[in-house]
Amino acid sequence: MWSWHITEFEGGRPLLEGLALRLPAAPRGYLHQLIHKGKVHGDGLPLTAETVVRAGMCLKLPASARLAELAAAGGLPPDALLYEDATALVVCKPAGLAVHRAVGHDDNLTARVNGFLALRRAGYRASPVHRLDVGTSGPVLFGKGRQATSRYGNLLMAGQFDKGYLALVSGRVPDEGELTTRVPDGGTLRPALTRYRRLAATASLALLELELVTGRPHQARCQLAAAGWPIVGDRRYGGRPWPGLGHPFLHSHRLLLPALDEDRRIVVGCPLPAALAALLAGSGLSLPEGFAGSAEIPAAARQEWL
């Protein structure tokens, strides 16, 4: 089953147009057939071609090989688009995919996003405002066009963004605290601050929520390892190997960003990937009930008015 929430950008449009924005590689005739056969549901009810979708509505489509093929051709699965408005696009990056093009990373998130927008005939290119490590999953903000990207970049430099992370580490960790060890950045050691809160633990593992107050490269990975709590799967920093896990157990579950030209903040949640959720369950750990960003909570943006 494919499931996603209608964004601010999609709201107020006819259902067919809303579907086409999520599945730009799909022929309109195919989408119309899905609607006509009653396969498109909104908030649990079948929708008709006359339906006007609203922001926050949960759309569901039955999974099929054809739908998976069209989603792949579009560059982004429909549920990977977490938030969108006139200037911003927030996309969930899977672990293993680089944000930018680099040696060995011709396939990257930026290329996928711009391929998606080209199929929409958007008329502009999008650029990432921040980055995540290749092995880290979570939301990445793209500015729509140069001006929006530049403005968001200035807000990022001014400290107006906030990102929350989940990390599974080895060792016994206090309930909460701060990590202040210096980390390498640009060839020198620089100050860094990470706040942590323990969400769950066993005798040898701990699930932490992290707030990276500073944004140094590999900050959380380096500081946690220095504290004696390396991230599971993080071989570079001495993390415990885990069968089937080829990257660190580090996921950005929340991105807070300011809206341009409006006095509001946008909080975008990104559920824990299914593979990491399964690993947690297999290790005897789970997220607290109702925790924002858990696998049971749909990925949806909410707004906090200032």
Same domain, 183 and 63: no
**Which segments of 62-175 are extended strands (E)?**
81-84, 88-93, 126-128, 138-144, 162-170
Same domain, 166 and 292: yes
pLDDT at 292: 57
Tell me, yes or no, whether 243 lies in a domain.
yes
Distance, CA of 207 to CA of 302 (rounded, Å):
25
pLDDT at 297: 33
Tell me, yes or no, whether 117 lies in a domain.
no
Supply φ then ψ for residue 27, to 5 degrees. Answer: -60, 145
Q: Is 162 a catalytic residue?
A: no
Distance, CA of 39 to CA of 177 (rounded, Å):
49
CA neighbours closer than 13 Å in the CB half-sphere of residue 43: 8
The one catalytic residue among 133, 162, 185, 234? 133
Q: Are 287 and 175 in contact (CB under 8 A)?
A: no
* Alpha helix (H) residue ranges in the chain: 15-22, 28-36, 65-74, 109-120, 146-157, 219-226, 274-282
Tell me, yes or no, whether 112 lies in a domain.
no
DSSP letter assigned to residue 203? S
Same domain, 173 and 295: yes
Q: Which CATH number fits the domain that encloses residue 202?
A: 3.30.2350.10
- Residue 259 burial by Cβ neighbours in a 10 Å radius (0-12, 13-18, 19+): middle
pLDDT at 293: 43
Residue 280 DSSP SS3: helix
Same domain, 275 and 169: yes
Same domain, 174 and 47: no
Mean pLDDT by 10 residues, the chain (306 residues): 93 96 96 95 92 95 94 94 96 95 83 96 96 95 97 94 96 97 93 96 96 92 97 96 95 95 91 94 89 43 34
Q: Which CATH number fits the domain that encloses residue 44?
A: 3.10.290.10
Torsion of CA 65, 275, 288, 41, to 10 degrees: 0
Tell me, yes or no, whether 125 lies in a domain.
no
Domain count, the chain: 2
Same domain, 284 and 175: yes
Tell me, yes or no, whether 94 lies in a domain.
no
Last residue within a domain, chosen from 72, 92, 123: 72
Last residue within a domain, chosen from 32, 55, 72: 72
Q: Are 181 and 223 in contact (CB under 8 A)?
A: yes
Last residue within a domain, chosen from 51, 72, 93: 72
Q: Which domain holds residue 215?
A: 162-254+270-301
Tell me, yes or no, whether 105 lies in a domain.
no
Same domain, 295 and 192: yes
Tell me, yes or no, whether 90 lies in a domain.
no
Amino acid at 236: R
Tell me, yes or no, whether 191 lies in a domain.
yes
